[in-house]
Amino acid sequence: MKRLRLYAASAALSLLAPVVNAADLDAIMQECNDCHGDNGVSQWSDVPTIAGIDEFVHSDALFIYRDKERPCADHAYNQGDTSRPETNMCSVTEGLSDEDIEDIAAAYSELPYVRATQDFDASLAAAGEALHNEHCDKCHSDAGMNAEDEASMLGGQQMGYLKTSFAQFAAGDREQPAKMKEKMDPLSDDDVKALLHYYASQQ
């Protein structure tokens, strides 16, 4: 429900406000790229690729970070001026307007999603595929790589980031839909590990 309220509110406000200047949007996205990689494609296990994510999913995440309702660990810049002080998603979204967020999400949604090349265990990946098909495929089809599902990208996403996200869900530190919680709660640590290797195998 919160996502729908946020979306409705931001959509209404966007009718009254000017579109973000292209140069300003480029500058904002460069800041994003300095952590997430060129064109939003991550080369670092603990940082997600944000290119190709559904616009609604991406904007919703940014609103949640701005509201400080998702864990925000400090992180150093991965490229550009790496001497800058560490930052976090709550801080970088704090000054963004609703229109900034909508424009950022729209811009990244138009970029191609690039699957990460990473090590994985084939036997674990096979077990993870069975778990995904049983528990996850209904909402995360095509190995979790169908943007039209309006769900986060899983297949080919950076394993370290997914591992952290799964742990946050399990600890109750990160909000999730009730139906997703029903699927996640029964998973053992071994199940989660298998799923992570399955998603890493989608290269």
Per residue in 154-202, pLDDT (tens digit) is: 999 999 999 999 999 999 999 999 999 999 999 999 999 999 999 999 9
Q: How many domains does the chain have?
A: 2
Same domain, yes or no: 14 and 103: yes
Sign of CA dihedral 11, 93, 19, 145: negative
Report the CATH number at residue 186: 1.10.760.10
Same domain, yes or no: 163 and 91: no
Same domain, yes or no: 41 and 65: yes
Residue 116 lies in a domain: no
pLDDT single digits (tens) 23-80? 799 999 999 999 999 999 999 999 999 999 999 999 999 999 999 999 999 999 999 9
* Domain of residue 79, residue span: 2-109
How many angstroms separate the first and last alpha carbons of the chain?
Answer: 34
The phi, psi pair for 75, rounded to 5°, reads -150, 140
Tokens of 116: 């990460």
Same domain, yes or no: 101 and 159: no
Same domain, yes or no: 10 and 90: yes
Same domain, yes or no: 92 and 137: no
Residue 40 lies in a domain: yes
Of 75, 109, 143, which one is at a domain's C-terminal end?
A: 109
Same domain, yes or no: 9 and 104: yes
Same domain, yes or no: 9 and 101: yes
- Give all strands (DSSP E) within the chain, no chain letters: none
CB 12 within 8 A of CB 1: no
Tokens of 180: 């997703």
Same domain, yes or no: 28 and 90: yes
Instruction: Tell me the whole-structure pTM to 2 decimals.
Output: 0.88
> What region, left, alpha or beta, does residue 144 occupy, with left being phi > 0 and alpha being psi -120 to 50 degrees?
left
